Chains A and B, each alone.
Chain A
């Protein structure tokens, strides 16, 4: 655990030593604000909740999370620093977890900076702050799920553009897995897969959280999802690190 934290701390420091952190946070807040106020009709609805805000969170993450993860391993491989990192006395699992943790903490910081929304609805009305809290938990878990996918894919390549595009594409698949466009197609051909697609849809799981429902099943889903992708990440790093 100590090594995981040391790796995470270095990685997180790297975000703030470069313009990555400020650019990401500013773009995230601007996008999230614009979408919530304009498309979401935050004020026009006249309801004291953050539903318009949470509706857009997964989609903004879909675009921005792969932008964080694309460098995680691809850059280490391009710079050759992966050779340094993995010849230090740490295990590959610790390196994978440390990098993931840093990216996740970074997403949490970006999410925390949306606190003015919470203040606004509390001034304008009397929202159910429990629902808002569970929405935030859900948003953080969606970020974690997308991060684990993006991190694993980043280990496949030295090219950050490829890592980004692959990340967006695969995260998109998991986001829309329960949408009719996917399930209709699958149920016509392979009904079993349609059922599986419904179960692994990240957005469906997230919607439970935005309704204020924190169920053990959803928590286990996200834990399993992230665990699986991080395991895959470790395997990919092990196989491809020296290529």
Chain B
């Protein structure tokens, strides 16, 4: 399903990644329009992170293409990445930098300066509630805070496309709730892809879910439609059924 007349901001066609004889991602295609929150589900090693890395232009696909706001991520990478907010797997950040220092660096690279830069950094820190730790080096922060620093970096420039690899991993239940609220609140203006293996998250924030197993898309539907695919009506059972069949 599509979100009606909203423009398609993410367009993935036949994306494939092979490592030697192993095919990690096998012909994955989908589009995401503005206003959609796509939950990207799959067991560990199914190819979620690999797909997201190719979408972010970090990994070169063996075949297929990915476009962000019409820009091919390989041919026109800088333009594509300008429109993208990306949270890599594990939310890596430079350990010796302070939270402010790190976000200021990201804002500078994004072309901001002077007062606007300060406002952007402040806004991103407010959204992710980093106010209390702004002068702490990232390495001294807890896992949850590190994740939020990574999230702040992705939101800094208010990008039309957000790709978040496990944004709530390592957060406590309250923080998870906050991040989900934040995603839901931003959803109408953006095309968002989040990967997760927490199925309740799909129900909570996603307008659509894709399940991949062994590198292939095995389901692409709304959470409600997916639930109907199993007699029990529970997403866990649907997930298990689909991914076990493919494996």
Contact = CB atoms under 8 A, between A and B. Distances in A.
B89 interface: yes
Interface in B134-154: 137, 150, 153
B96 interface: yes
Interface stretch (B53-61, B210-218, B219-227, B235-243): B53-61
B208 to A, nearest CB: 24
A242 B58 contact: yes
Nearest to A81: B92
B183 interface: no
B95 A79 contact: yes
Contact of B88 (A7, A18, A83, A89): A83
A46 to B, nearest CB: 47
A17 B86 CA distance: 26
Given A87-B88, A89-B109, A90-B109, A14 B81 contact: no
Given A10-B105, A90-B109, A242 B53 contact: yes
Interface in A81-121: 81, 83-84, 86-91
Given A6-B105, A13-B101, A86 B96 contact: no
Nearest to B96: A17
A80 B89 contact: yes
A3 B96 contact: no
A241 B77 CA distance: 15
B57 A87 contact: yes
B97 interface: yes
Interface residues on B, range: 20 to 34
Nearest to B101: A13
A13 B84 contact: no
B56 A87 contact: yes
A79 B57 CA distance: 19
Interface residues of A, number: 22
Nearest to B50: A242
Taking chain A's interface residues, is the majority helix, strand, or loop, or is none over half, making it mixed? helix
B24 to A, nearest CB: 11
B78 interface: yes
Tell me which of B57, B96, B109, B111 has the highest count of chain A C-beta atoms within 10 A of its own C-beta.
B109
A91 B78 contact: yes
B109 to A, nearest CB: 5
A7 B110 CA distance: 12
A14 B94 contact: yes
A143 to B, nearest CB: 23
B131 interface: no
A3 B53 contact: no
Contacts of A238: 60
B78 A83 contact: no
A38 B78 CA distance: 54
Contacts of A10: 94, 97, 105
B176 interface: no
Tell me which of A83, A86, A90 has the highest count of chain B C-beta atoms within 10 A of its own C-beta.
A83
Given A10-B105, A14-B96, A90-B78, A84 B88 contact: yes
Contacts of B130: none
A20 to B, nearest CB: 9
A116 B95 CA distance: 35
B101 A89 contact: no
A-B interface, 7 closest residue pairs, ranked by CB to CB distance from nearest: A80-B92, A83-B88, A89-B82, A242-B59, A17-B96, A89-B81, A87-B56
Interface of B: 53, 56-60, 77-79, 81-82, 84, 86, 88-90, 92-97, 101, 105-106, 108-111, 137, 150, 153
Given A88-B81, A89-B81, 6 more contacts: A6-B105, A87-B56, A89-B79, A89-B109, A89-B111, A242-B58
